[in-house]
A = this chain, B = another copy of it.
């Protein structure tokens, strides 16, 4: 089990957008070149973000994407779920009901399986962790990781493209 590449791409794209003025837009082409990933496929991830209301896309020249909400109102979970979906990472197929000595209409079918409950609880812990980090919080981490020069250089490169 492994998350899609799209997740890494989407997170980085959102992080980049969070570092720019809110009204500035970046095109799919610029974002693809900046991250060195195929433009056509990245477009699918950006469309998913757009449909989820995380970014806003506009048509025409000088069009592109910007964040649809303030950076402190977008969590990592929002982005991951937009690309990866909201279904639990654990799928219960109810094999407990295949039990050959189980009586039909037993009253043990009203509650979810104990195994599934534990797995879903772990899934929620994963989501809680991602829900705790906003793009604004990540920008603060990034500011400590990278030197101001590197950040400014990236910023200028992106703004010169659009």
**Are B138 and A89 interface neighbours, CB within 8 A?**
no
Copies of this polypeptide in the complex? 2
Q: Does A41 contact B (CB under 8 A)?
A: no
How far is it, in angstroms, between the C-alpha of A100 and the C-alpha of B36 when the chains are bound?
8
Of the candidate stretches A21-29, A44-52, A116-124, the one touching chain B is A116-124
**Are A89 and B1 interface neighbours, CB within 8 A?**
yes
**Are B129 and A121 interface neighbours, CB within 8 A?**
yes
Interface size band for A: 35 or more
**Are A154 and B99 interface neighbours, CB within 8 A?**
yes
CB-nearest residue of chain B to A157: B101
How far is it, in angstroms, between the C-alpha of A40 and the C-alpha of B111 when the chains are bound?
30
**Are A34 and B146 interface neighbours, CB within 8 A?**
no
**Are A125 and B129 interface neighbours, CB within 8 A?**
yes
How far is it, in angstroms, between the C-alpha of A157 and the C-alpha of B102 when the chains are bound?
10
Please, which residues of chain B bring their CB within 8 A of the CB of A150?
102, 106, 108
Q: Beta-carbon contacts of A94-135 to B below 8 Å, as 1s and 0s?
A: 011011111000111001001110110111011111100100
A118 shortest CB reach to chain B, Å: 5
Please, which residues of chain B bring their CB within 8 A of the CB of A136?
none
**Are B37 and A98 interface neighbours, CB within 8 A?**
yes
Q: Does A8 contact B (CB under 8 A)?
A: yes
